[in-house]
Amino acid sequence: MKPLTLVGFLAALIGGPLSGQVATLGGTAGLVSLVAVLSVSIGLINLFPIPLLDGGHLLFYLIEAVRGRPLSEKAQEMGFRIGLAFVLMLMVFATFNDIMHLWTS
């Protein structure tokens, strides 16, 4: 499979729990490497400006600093719902991507 765009290439790199399980077959060094990559990845993803994650809270604080008052509770709740939907879609996509990689290999 040959991705035609950068988005397609990056989408092919997204992996979920199944790709992590396959990576642990490399022994102790593979497991340590997997844990290091997961730690850095989770730390970076947590800083994305998605309202459900820490980066989203920082975004809300930035908006509050610029506006001089916080967003309404309804706006924050809507942001959290959208963020939750985005995170859940990303999880489903990663698992689907794993299944497709296992299916085609």
pLDDT along the chain (105 residues), means of 10: 60 66 68 80 87 92 95 94 92 84 77
Q: How many residues does the chain have?
A: 105
Looking at residue 96, what is its pLDDT?
84
Residues 15/26/24/6 CA torsion (nearest 10 deg): -10
What tokens were used for 15?
């992996």
Cβ contact 48:55 at 8 Å = yes
Q: Is the dihedral of CA 69, 71, 72, 73 positive or negative?
A: negative
Looking at residue 62, what is its pLDDT?
95
Distances (CA, A) of 11 to 15, 16, 41, 53, 91: 9, 12, 15, 21, 12
pTM, two decimal places? 0.69
